[in-house]
Structure 1
Amino acid sequence: MTACRLDGLPVELIHNLFGYFAAHEIFSIFSNVSLYLNGIINGYTSYHVNFQSINRTDFDLACQHIVPSQVVSMTLSNDEHTPGLMKIFVSRFQLSQFTRLKSLKLIEIGAEFWECIMTKLVELKDLRTLLYINPNRLDEWVSKVCSKTITKLDESLAKIYAPILPQLIRLRLSHGNYLKLVQLSNLRHLVLNQSDGALLRHISFAAPQLRSLDLSVFYEESYPEIIYPLPQVTRIVLDVQGNFLSINNIERMMTNLPRLKHMKLTGNCEKNVVDGYRLELKAKHLVSFEFSFCIYDILVSSDLDSFRTSFWLQEKQWFVCYYSKYFFTMSYLSKITDGHFVLPTYSTVLDDTYFYTRTVEYKSYFNNELLERRLHNIKKLTLSTTCNLSTVENNIDLNTIQILSIELLDEHFSLAQLISKMPSVHHLCISIGPKYLLKHIDWQIMENIRILEISCSAIALTDDTIAELSTIFPNTERLHIRCVCSIEMMLMFLDRFEHLLTASFQYTNFWLNFSEVSETAHSQLQLMQDLEQCSSNYPYTYRITSTAVHFWL
């Protein structure tokens, strides 16, 4: 090793520099550059370990160099991007070794590892942040069983790790059933996927320093309040389930939050919430106010007149829209329209150009539909109907497309020509037969594709087809196959795609009736046995959910 220019910098300055990097980045970039830097790396005591979406090489590098007592924050993830990571981690480390840990973030770690993590929390005296993130989406790559199992587990383990909760400043959990018996005297930020009136009433007394609240609450009329008085809260994100909200409910909530500056609110509502005059009185001190209300009464344009005042349009610039029973602010537009560009039925936006510049997803529902203006900020394009290339080019600036999803193609459509005009595209989703796809891309090599998703019949995936796909998409790093795959087919994909970091395969049907559960359990057990037998020949770890298997290479 030779000296480098960094050797002239003081240790404190390099420590400040390290604060911008995750641990594996520090080890990869700065190790063995000079003896001076090696000494600083060895003595640094504020490492941030982030294993979310990390590749296997960087993970192994971090594990080789980590000294647990020098780590202050850590993210552990066992999701489809790092399946099997937890099994390796718990074989190398015990959580109690991380004695200076201040922040712990857990992402889909799985029920089988929940107990060994949560029972050790009481030994982490410096812990101030605990975040558990479980899937809030319903799709074929996530096991619903895992989330339910963890809910039961953390209820049974609550008494063990409850003593650390009063020391926490930040807390995120799937639910808070057991928080009703805990004092949260230092808590500033709380996120809960599930809650109810009894819990929120307890929080109003048990968390006097709470500043930020993000939760889904089931509203029942048996509780007089949806949100109880929280005098210190300045930010709230609230999804209300259950009974319909009225304008009185919303006013009462905002009255109970006297220092509120930022609010997001969603839920089913009565028509009387469409009252800009009354909302203005409560929202005038807010910096941001976003909402999406599902209203089953039909609105007309004049219903929005109270939101066309100078307060809403000039002072705050909070524009509202109505489309397909939803009354919402602009930030919810893409969610309401499911990614398809549409102009709302009614809105307070004075110039429709606003919608064209804000839309980031576009889905082609109508044959060769020409838009009045071109879309310049589209990140995801979905072709779900037959259309010609000129129509797509006229409607969209293709330079910004990052994700291309293909659900249907005209027989004469040149997909290769389309992709060649998308310099930023790196993610391709295919819902047509692979052979049909290969025909449309004229066998041209697509080197820029890093993420490849294929949904088709298993019959269409022959040995030759898999080989052809690996040739056309040689740089694929993340692979998702949405069809029932045998283990032989899975291993064939792992063999052919040389640059894979992760791969996910369906091995059974998505939706099971009761009579199929035992058969699926048997398939899962057999799959685990087969994968263990093959693991000596393939450098992978894996995770099996109720319908899919995920590989990490």
Structure 2
Amino acid sequence: MIPSLGKQPIFILDSLPKEIIYTIFDYLWAHDILYSFLDSSAIINSIILTYHNYHVNFKSILKCLFDLVCCSIRSNQITSLILSDDNETPCQSKVYLSLFPIEEFINLRAITLSDIENDNRTSFTNIHQLKYLNYFETDTLSHLWMIETIPKLKRLIVNKISDHDYNHENLLCAISFFYLRNLTLPYCSYNNLRQILRSAPKLTSLNISLIISDCTGIDYFAEQHQEAPLIINNLTISIHTFTRTISRLLFERFLSRMPYLQQLELNVISGGSSNLLEGNQWKLFIQKHLPLLFAFNFKFKIINIDRNNYHTENILTQFRSSFWLNRNPAWYVAYDINDFILYTIPRFAPHTIKHSLLPILLHSTTLPAEQYFTYYNQINELELDANEKSSYQYTNVQRLILLITKIDENILDLSKVEFLCVKSVSWSLKKLLRIIKTSMIRLYHLKIDFSFSLLELSDNDSLAQIRILDLSEFIYSSKKEDYDLSTVFPYVERLTIRITSLLQMFYLIDRLMHLSSGSFHITNDSDNTKELSTESDLHKWFTEKTKRLRKNNSFTYRLDSQSGFWIRLWMNSEIERPKKVFYHYLIFIWRGFLCFL
């Protein structure tokens, strides 16, 4: 707000043309826009109502924000959509597509599917639109096949399907490939690949994982029989094979029809032939057939290697020529002599490392010694398993795993840590809280893998910064009333915990007022869990047992018995979050507006 000559203050965004607001919205998720700007002024509300380029991301979203999007945005205002049925948002896709059938998304240009349910696990979604009840008698994916009704879909990303037996060909058959430009699939057969390359004339970006289980499949992969060159400029392929090896010659036959490739990534996860290690031959092929290529990343897992012809120095010498190194950026490679893996740096450099491991060796990479920081800067997950001193520092660690009781802050910057997993039983909870408060200012996800007591803490010992809490490796079983997680972790939004009874689950649901996603592993309550799994009206059962779900029964859940007995809940928080405008966005907008003038 800014002062005005009158009594009513002026909202700063009201003075900007709506086209500028639209441009700012293009860079934000839909729930961020609504949470930050809705009801800030009548003018902004009008802009939100008329904006037609919403990017909706439901991955790991809080239930209250999901409801906010459902109540505020029409399906024809959405151009990109991410749906997820993972453990934090069970049955999400069913709920959303019951309210907004896929055929109504007439302006949708991109859709991402992650962990979409297509199995027989018990699940429930509480909605009041009875006209959609029959929809839940079938799985979500069958209705996503109606994706063919979207006239101009340009990007389809399928990150993971919950049911590994799902027939991907049915989904692919429903897609209109003509307008498709970007496609990502977690699994693709060589027949699917042939269909894609023949039916998608405008495809420029392809990211697929191939599993080839027979010899014929390898030949079919290499020989696609396209009459005209493909216009694909960005290609990522991962290959598993269990029969013949994947050779460089097969890749050459396949890639020779893609002269417009600019970015290429090859990942041979199993079954790589030794000739994949021949840098000089890759050089000749790229110079002749891929003249526009400026980014080439690979990771080759080699089997049956001939140690006489392919030893470390011999291999790396072929990648030290000017063709590989005199680029911006250079194409550096490294060779793992233990696992027989050749990979590019930094793309396939390890992101996870144990501190006790030996540092990178001079003869195992083409990366110059003075640039080894590039290798270590890739490390974002560090396992501290020893108190050894280090001559280098990990500068970008976001995930820290502790197997020791002492942290040497000289080897890493604790202020960047966002996830902490503590596995050493020697840690006291009081000491842990003190380190988090003083040094780990960005930490929001805490996992504790040992039994602890809250009785040693005082009323001032709490971690308001923790939003995700994982207590899956010890049993929460205390019967004392003062053993209260909500006092120590008052703002937890996502909880994973192992408990011994359903009564503990009800207690936690009612006490953790901000909880939106809960995964409860019940280990010693067979009588009640048996009753739960056979109960005909599960929704009624939940609302009778908890005050919170009785008060606000907009929730979904899934019963999962694949690895023990789990209950996954997705619900609204008990306390409404206050509306807050993103003031840093306002400053950015105002400065941009002044520059525009």
Give, as a single letter, the amino acid of the residue that structure 2 aligns with 1:454: L
By how many angstroms is 1:259 displaced? 1.9
The aligned runs of 1:384-463 (5 Å cut-off) are 384=403, 386-389=404-407, 392-410=408-426, 414-419=431-436, 420-435=438-453, 444-458=461-475, 460-463=476-479
Mapped pair 1:307 → 2:310: no
Partner of 2:259: 258
- Seen in structure 2, the aligned counterparts of structure 1 residues 103 and 332 have a Cα distance that, compared at 3 Å, is closer
Deviations 1:227-285 (A, max 9, x none): 43552121111111113222323333332322221111111312332222112223454
**TM-score of the pair, normalised by structure 1:** 0.79
Unaligned runs of 5+ in 2: 1-7, 119-137, 572-597
Deviates more, 1:55-64 or 1:85-94: 85-94
Give the number of the structure with larger relative contact order, counting CA–CA contacts within 8 Å between residues 6 or more apart: 2
Aligned-partner SS, 2:59:
coil
Q: Does the Cα contact within 8 Å between 1:50 and 1:74 map onto a contact in 2?
A: yes
1:277 counterpart = 2:296: no
Is the alpha carbon distance of 1:356 and 1:11 closer, same or farther for their aligned partners in structure 2, counting shifts above 3 Å? closer
Structure with the largest fraction of helix:
1
For residues 385-410 of structure 1, the C-alpha deviation after alignment (integer angstroms, 9 at most, x for no partner) is x3533xx3232222222211112244
Matched to 1:95, the amino acid is: I
| Percent identity of paired positions between Structure 1 and Structure 2 | 27
Alpha-carbon spacing, 1:523–1:310, altered in 2? closer, same or farther (3 Å): farther
Match of residue 221 from structure 2: 226
Specify the code of the residue in structure 1 equivalent to 2:439: K
Structure 2 residue 23 is the aligned partner of structure 1 residue 16: yes
SS in 2 for 1:378: coil
- Give the equivalent residue in structure 2 for 1:383: 402
Q: Is the 8 Å Cα contact of residues 335 and 343 (structure 2) preserved in structure 1?
A: yes
Question: Separation in 1 of the partners of 2:298 and 2:354?
Answer: 17
Map of 2:99 onto structure 1: 92
Q: CA RMSD in A?
A: 3.6
Whole-angstrom distance in 1 between the partners of 2:9 and 2:433: 49
Aligned pairs for 1:39-50 within 5 A: 39-50=46-57
Separation of aligned partners in 2, 1:546 and 1:505: 12
CA drift at 1:431: 1.2
- Report the CA distance shift for 1:65/1:133 in structure 2 as closer, same or farther (over 3 A): same
Question: Are 1:334 and 1:361, in contact at CA under 8 Å, matched by a contact in 2?
Answer: no
Partner Cα distance (1:508, 1:531) in 2: 22
Counterpart-to-counterpart distance in 2, 1:10 and 1:505: 49
Contact 1:382–1:406 under 8 Å retained in 2:
yes
1:118 equivalent in structure 2: 144
Q: Equivalent residue for 1:317? A: 330
Corresponding position of 1:374? 393
Distance in 1 separating the partners of 2:194 and 2:92: 39
Output aligned runs, 1:104-503, within 5 Å: 104-111=111-118, 112-114=138-140, 117-118=143-144, 120-134=146-160, 146-148=162-164, 151-152=166-167, 162=173, 165-166=175-176, 184-219=177-212, 220-222=214-216, 223-227=218-222, 228=224, 231-242=230-241, 243-267=244-268, 268=270, 269-284=272-287, 285=291, 286-296=293-303, 297=305, 299-315=311-327, 316-323=329-336, 324-325=338-339, 326-330=341-345, 331-334=347-350, 342-344=358-360, 346-351=364-369, 352-365=372-385, 367-384=386-403, 386-389=404-407, 392-410=408-426, 414-419=431-436, 420-435=438-453, 444-458=461-475, 460-464=476-480, 467-481=483-497, 483=498, 485-503=500-518
Counterpart residue identity of residue 265, structure 1: L
Distance (Å, rounded) in 2 between the aligned partners of 1:523 and 1:258 = 62
CA distance in structure 2 between the aligned counterparts of 1:318 and 1:245, rounded to whole angstroms: 22
Structure 2 letter corresponding to 1:370? K
Letter in 2 for 1:364: L
Alpha-carbon deviations, 1:166-218, whole Å to 9, x = none?
3xxxxxxxxxxxxxxxxx34332222222233333343333333222211113
Q: Distance in 1 between matches of 2:392 and 2:501?
A: 47
Instruction: Indicate if the aligned counterparts of 1:2 and 1:34 stay in contact, CA closer than 8 A.
Output: no
1:550 partner SS: strand
Q: Deviation of residue 454 (structure 1)?
A: 1.2
8 Å CA contact 1:238, 1:264 repeated in 2: yes
Task: Return the TM-score normalized by structure 2.
Answer: 0.74
CA gap of 1:202–1:88, structure 2 versus 1, over 3 A, is closer
Q: What 5-or-longer segments of structure 1 have no aligned partner?
A: 136-145, 167-183, 510-515
